[in-house]
């Protein structure tokens, strides 16, 4: 947090010289140091002074790490569940379940109108909902053969915005052309400012993720068959899944300095602007800020809503749990996964860069495919193995391993730039690590004596042919509302 002296441009107590950028030759050679290491008052930029007026003074000693404030992050959440179960007869039953979650959170910046860091990292307000629906039907063909079919649907919608999104805050501090570049709900709020050091560094305003909308979901069909034969319990089935994702991520209010340092330069006011190449360790970022000298500015303004991504994720599996002996049980399985590259319902919704020809390939234009010429992989097989061995009557040793396949970032192979400007590459399936996860469990139990014994449940999922389950209906529902305010 800049001290009162720093805000006046007084760096006389520092051993780091500050030079006048208006002096010297090309590249800053031969610059003149400000007298007594102080920037004259008439040289202080008025916009910088207006921004500093929104930021409180330090409440701790020192030039760095000198401000402490509570960073609240209240989250309000309502969860509603309902489920209906119906048993038709001995062989047929189904259920329907729906879960809905509404949530809003408030994460203001600790500087108030000046933004700054917040309890969730950056100042944001968020609201959204999460829905899921499941329908399941089970049919018992015989005491040894069971088939289950399931349909699932999910929808997630969540939006994040700057706390001052409806205010032309940048215009109020004296920066024209930022808040009126697009509708206020996208370009509103104070721009982001990252002022580097090496002394007196701080952040103000909003971040480059202050306007974000996530709208994703999908549906799937699952079929599972279970067959018990002798010492084998065999399961096989398929999962057909369709996903969609739509993300609107914008820093359209503008940022002086990048908050995502992995993609761009983090410092918006480089110290070299008030330094001299002739003097080692000279210049200060806060001095460059006071003079209104920015070294880095960027923002994103979408000329159209980014396209939706569609993706197919299908799988087929087979698993056999075999009780080889009274002590040894083996579980062997194989899964095939198809993780398709995304497509877009919008023509030109994806793009790909060809490293060989240096051409940009636009999906669905010319001879470019809907996946921007990215080839899908049909060779992802994932084995599973599990071993359970009874060492003693009350001790079982279990060990297992499996190969798992990651979908990446919504199924995209990195590096990924944006929904409507994707850089994709073809990565073949690798068998270098056929077992990518391994577990080892030792189970031990003791017999407990319960007076009167244990009462067995009246109903069982898989009934014997002689057992009768009368048709029953059940409806259940729950609602929960919660408020939390974690502190940092």
Cβ count within 10 A of residue 58: 19
- Tell me what pLDDT residue 476 has: 59
Angle at 463 between CA 461 and CA 468, to 5 degrees: 115
Look at residue 120 in the predicted model and tell me its pLDDT: 75
Q: What is the pLDDT of residue 440?
A: 63
Cis peptide before 187 (omega within 30 of 0): no
Query: Where are the strands (E) in 437-471, listed by range?
Result: 437-444
Whether 38 and 10 have beta carbons less than 8 Å apart is answered as: yes
- Contact by Cβ (8 Å): 190, 205: yes
End-to-end CA distance of the chain: 19
DSSP structure class, residue 414: S
> Which pLDDT belongs to residue 481?
57
Cα→Cα distances 363→242, 302, 310, Å = 20, 19, 13
Residue burial 461-477, b: 16+ Cβ < 10 Å; e: rest: eeeeeeeebeeeeeeee
Q: Which residue has the tokens 């760095």?
A: 64
253 with 188: CB under 8 angstroms?
Answer: yes
- Dump the DSSP string for 19-70: B-TTSSSGGGTTPPBPGGGB--GGGS-HHHHHHHHTSPPPSSSSSSS-----
- The CA distances from residue 252 to 40, 98, 186, in Å, are 34, 37, 6
Residue 396's SS3 state is strand
**Are 1 and 257 within 8 A, CB to CB?**
no
Splitting the chain (488 residues) into consecutive groups of 10 residues, what average pLDDT does each group show?
Answer: 94 95 91 96 96 94 89 88 94 96 89 83 86 97 96 93 89 90 81 90 82 87 96 97 81 76 74 93 95 87 73 94 95 93 84 83 88 86 93 90 72 38 34 46 58 44 37 57 50
d(CA 285, CA 93): 69
Maximum pairwise Cα distance, the chain? 101
pLDDT at 314: 94
Residues 6+ apart with CB under 8 A from 34: 11, 18, 19, 20, 40
What's the full length of the chain, in residues?
488
Separation between Cα atoms, residue 87 and residue 472, nearest integer Å = 5
Report if pTM > 0.85: no
Q: At 320, list the tokens.
A: 């056999």
Rounded to an integer, what is the distance from CA 138 to the centroid of its chain? 35
On the CB side of 339, CA atoms within 13 Å amount to: 19
Instruction: Provide the β-strand partners of residue 106.
Output: 125
Dist CA 192 CA 173 (whole Å): 13
C-beta atoms surrounding 284 within 10 Å: 27
pLDDT of residue 415: 35
pLDDT, residue 206, reads: 86
Tokens describing residue 20: 């006048």
- 87: tokens are 């048993």
Taking the CA atoms of 51, 56, 61 and 65 in sequence, report the sign of the dihedral they define.
negative
């Amino acid at each position: 947090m800049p001290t009162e002296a720093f805000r006046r441009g007084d760096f006389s107590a520092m051993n780091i010289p500050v030079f006048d950028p208006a002096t010297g030759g090309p590249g800053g050679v031969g610059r003149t140091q400000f007298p007594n290491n102080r920037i004259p008052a008439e040289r202080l930029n008025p916009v910088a002074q207006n921004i500093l007026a929104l930021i409180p003074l330090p409440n701790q000693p020192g030039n760095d790490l000198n401000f402490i404030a509570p960073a609240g992050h209240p989250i309000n959440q309502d969860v509603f569940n309902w489920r209906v179960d119906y048993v038709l007869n001995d062989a047929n039953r189904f259920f329907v379940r729906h879960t809905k979650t509404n949530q809003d959170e408030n994460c203001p910046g600790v500087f108030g109108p000046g933004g700054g860091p917040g309890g969730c990292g950056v100042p944001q307000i968020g609201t959204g909902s999460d829905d899921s629906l499941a329908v399941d039907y089970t049919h018992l063909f015989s005491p040894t053969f069971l088939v289950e079919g399931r349909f699932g649907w999910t929808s997630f919608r969540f939006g994040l915005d700057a706390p001052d999104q409806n205010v032309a805050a940048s215009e109020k501090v004296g920066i024209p052309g930022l808040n009126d570049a697009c509708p206020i709900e996208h370009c509103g709020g104070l721009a982001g400012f990252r002022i580097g050091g090496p002394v007196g560094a701080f952040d103000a305003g909003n971040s480059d993720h202050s306007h974000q909308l996530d709208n994703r979901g999908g549906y799937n069909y699952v079929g599972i068959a279970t067959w018990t034969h002798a010492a084998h319990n065999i399961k096989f089935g398929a999962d057909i899944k369709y996903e969609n994702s739509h993300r609107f991520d914008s820093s359209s209010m503008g940022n002086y300095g990048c908050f995502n340092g992995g993609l761009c330069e983090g410092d918006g006011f480089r110290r070299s602007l008030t330094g001299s190449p002739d003097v080692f360790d000279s210049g200060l970022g806060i001095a460059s800020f006071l003079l209104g000298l920015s070294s880095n500015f960027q923002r994103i303004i979408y000329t159209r809503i980014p396209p939706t991504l569609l993706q197919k994720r299908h799988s087929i599996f087979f698993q056999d749990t075999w009780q080889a002996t009274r002590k040894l049980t083996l579980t062997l399985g194989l899964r095939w996964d198809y993780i398709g590259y995304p497509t877009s319902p919008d023509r030109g919704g994806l793009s790909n860069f060809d490293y060989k020809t240096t051409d940009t390939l636009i999906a669905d234009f010319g001879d470019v495919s809907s996946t921007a010429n990215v080839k899908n992989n049909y060779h992802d097989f994932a084995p599973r193995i599990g071993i359970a061995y009874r060492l003693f009557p009350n001790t079982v040793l279990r060990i297992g391993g499996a190969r798992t396949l990651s979908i990446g970032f919504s199924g995209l192979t990195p590096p990924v730039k944006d929904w409507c400007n994707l850089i994709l590459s073809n990565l073949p399936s690798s068998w270098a690590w056929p077992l990518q996860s391994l577990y080892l469990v030792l189970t031990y139990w003791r017999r407990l004596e319960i007076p009167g014994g244990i009462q067995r449940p009246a109903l069982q999922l898989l009934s014997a042919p002689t057992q009768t389950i009368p048709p029953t209906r059940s409806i259940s529902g729950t609602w929960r509302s919660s408020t939390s305010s974690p502190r940092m």
